[in-house]
Structures are given as C-alpha cells and as structure tokens.
Structure 1
C-alpha cells in the first residue's frame, strides 16, 4: 500500500451548530485500493495500509461510533494484533488524531500528523511525498473548494513529489471518501469515488471527481424544486 491522508474539518452550519467533515484519500500502485484502505463515518476517518485489514478499519470506526477516542481505539486494536509490525494505521476523530507505522513496513515508510490531518505512506521514493501531501492539504485547509477536491490535490502533490517507488508496477488505483455530520438534503455524488485500475489513478480520480461534481450540479438544476429529489437519496 502506498500513501493516504485523513482529515477532520470542524465548521459551523447555518444554525450555528458545530459540525464536522471527515475525509480519506489514498493511492497505490496496485488495483482496487478503494475496497481495502479508506474508512470513514460521522465519528472519524481512518486508513489501514501496508498489510491492509478491513477488520481493523471497521472495528476502529465501530469504537469511534461508541465514543472511544481514536488513539485509544487504535492502541487497543494494535495491542491485540499479531501483525502490527507490518501495519500502518492513521486517522482523526472529532478531538484528536493517531499515527502508527510498524517497524516492518517497507522503506521509505513514515507518517505526519498536523492534528487535523494525518498522512502515512510506505514503499515511497522518500519522505518528500509525505511532506508534499500534508503541506498541500494544510495550505488550503477549510478552503472554498469541496473537501473531495482538496483531497485529490493533496494526493497529486504526493505523486509529483515521487509517490510510490515501485515503477515496475504500471497499474494503480486511488479512492476518496468524505462524510459530514451535518444532515444533507441529498447525496453529493463526488464524496465517494474510486478508480480501481489505471496507469494514472490520481489524474483519473480528478477526472472522475469533476464529472461527479458536474452531475451533482446538474441534478440540482433538474430536481432541486421537484418531488423527485427524494429519489436522489440521503447523503
């Protein structure tokens, strides 16, 4: 698995109530990463990589949903994990963050933690990938663009800085997920996207995002004042 970022963005809604956006984005030089690595709910966001574990990701979210802090949740799960030396786990909840890189993760492996954003990667060209990913997100944190777009920007910066060092692997993948605690009238089509097999996965993720955003805007024009809006489903 390659590199990913998890993000927490608190904000005030129209009623001046505290809300949160949580997001995860990931890319790797293997197909299908969107089915394995990113996990997000209204309680937080987490990525599990290097040796992936859907169970570990799902149980972390379950603990967060039950009110456990993310650092306590990840610590408890890793303490019971015989394969923790090969894991990378990082993420955010409403209050804090956690980063963990196991001792057996393949170089270059490392992580960054800014408090509201965590970044981790392995099999990277060097640590510049982590720095570029984190700094690009931080430079436009809480920006006007949707979080999904800014997550793609951060992944693209990591690719530009070197990305995954396994150049012999030509087919990769990328994915993003965003969830908000604020009740939405209907689904944002651009908040859950995957490119499962591509030679340019992050570039294709951007193209997919732009198409999904266009579809969202067109749906507003078509359905926003009609009864059919209900068929678009909840966020």
Structure 2
C-alpha cells in the first residue's frame, strides 16, 4: 500500500553525547495505515506494506531490540514468509539499512536506499513519487527542524508527484513515528501521530502535528514544576 520512508539521524544532545533518532512515515489510499505499517523503537524503524504482513513490522522491531542487525532481522523474517514476493519491507537501525520489494507487488513499485534512509512504494503513479520523497528528505536531512515535520514534508513531495494511483479510493490515511535514544523528562507526543480517515491525509497530518506541538509547548509551560519535582501536587 502506497509509500513510506524510514530514517536514521545521529545528533548530539545538550550534554555533548551522541544520540540517534529514528523515524518512519507513511501514507496510503486506505484508512488506518498507522495501525499496519509504521514501527519504530530506540533501535530502529521498520515499514511493512504492499500485501501487508503486520508481523514483519512488529517482529522486525523486536529483533532490532534484541540486537540483530536490520538486514539480518528483516531478511530472516522474509525467508520465513510464504507471501514474501507480495511484500515490501524496509528499515534502518543504528548502523545499516535494508529494503525489499517482492516481484509480485503491483506497479508502479520500487524502492530507494540512501546512506541513512530507505523509501519504498507500490501502486504508485510512477517512480517520481519515491524519488521526490527521497530528494526532499535528503535536502533537509539533519536540519534543525524536527524530524517529524521533515518527514511530513517528504510525504507531501511524493503526494504532489502523484502518490497512490487509486483515485477511486478517496478515503486515505497517514502516520508518523519518531523515537530518540536520548532520555528526556517529557514525552514528545507530536512524534507519534496518525490521521486514520480523511481525503486530505498530508494536510491533515501537518495540521495534527502543528496542533500537537503547540499543545506540547503549552503543557510544558503549565506543568513544568510538576514534571521537575515528579509530584502531582505541583500541578495544581
């Protein structure tokens, strides 16, 4: 089902420690893609699509959490999957990337593998969809803007190029997840967002992101003392 991007970005936290952030974003001309495709943890990000096997995403992240390299983890799962040639599966971990498109995926389908990212799509209007998704991410990689926002920009670029070709399916969805290795006092809830049923998935995901980030900043301002003291009494 349509197209997605997985990303790894190293960065340095305020204490000068090296950290990693992993992100995955997806959109499709079906509802509820956030329940099926994107998976991420502090050890990597995985997207499963085409004729979806959700276990490939769930188990893929579990294997990464157990210390397997992404190429070993995802290849092992595909080797045990009788529907392998109907699948697209891709992802990143701390050191590597992996991407696979089965021979029985529906045109147009294909993938791109970059140094720190992977992009894959099927049932698309053409190769330009994933090319522009990749190019847009590359142009903003390691930018100061939050990764979640840059992933939305990458999806928008692919969507503008034509995206999913099934115009007879107007109800669409989009989702993103970003996870960082850095321990923070506050959960950045704008890093885990879904738009489950809409005819304007990317615009709605952007609006959801902007609203969630504004709410996050307002929450920090109101409850900073409570978080700092780890006491509900300070929230009054």
The correspondence of residues 12-23 of structure 1 with structure 2, limited to 5 A, is 12-23=12-23
CA distance in 2, matches of 1:22, 1:230: 28
CA distance in 2, matches of 1:137, 1:221: 31
User: Are positions 1:222 and 2:232 aligned together?
Assistant: no
The 3 A distance-change label for structure 1 pair 175 and 231 is farther
CA distance in 1, matches of 2:45, 2:171: 26
Contact 1:189 1:215 in 2 (8 A): no
User: Are positions 1:179 and 2:174 aligned together?
Assistant: no
Larger deviation, residues 132-141 vs 7-16 = 7-16
Partner of 1:48: 48
Contact 2:185 2:227 in 1 (8 A): no
Deviation at 1:229, TM superposition (A): 7.6
Partner of 2:161: 161
CA distance in 2, matches of 1:199, 1:35: 18
CA distance in 1, matches of 2:219, 2:229: 8
CA distance in 2, matches of 1:62, 1:189: 22
User: Are positions 1:145 and 2:145 aligned together?
Assistant: yes
The 3 A distance-change label for structure 1 pair 231 and 42 is farther
CA distance in 1, matches of 2:118, 2:227: 41
Question: 3-state DSSP class of the match of 2:30?
Answer: coil
CA distance in 2, matches of 1:119, 1:186: 30
CA distance in 2, matches of 1:194, 1:147: 16
Question: 3-state DSSP class of the match of 1:226?
Answer: helix
Question: 3-state DSSP class of the match of 2:81?
Answer: coil
Partner of 2:85: 85
CA distance in 2, matches of 1:230, 1:140: 36
CA distance in 2, matches of 1:113, 1:122: 15
Partner of 1:209: 209
Contact 2:27 2:33 in 1 (8 A): yes
Segments ≥4 residues shifted beyond 6 Å: none
Deviation at 1:15, TM superposition (A): 2.3
What do the CA deviations read for 1:122-146 (whole angstroms, capped 9, x no partner)?
Answer: 0000000011000101100111111
Deviation at 1:231, TM superposition (A): 8.1
Contact 1:223 1:229 in 2 (8 A): no
CA distance in 2, matches of 1:211, 1:80: 42
Question: 3-state DSSP class of the match of 2:135?
Answer: helix
TM-score, normalising length from structure 2? 0.95
Partner of 2:126: 126
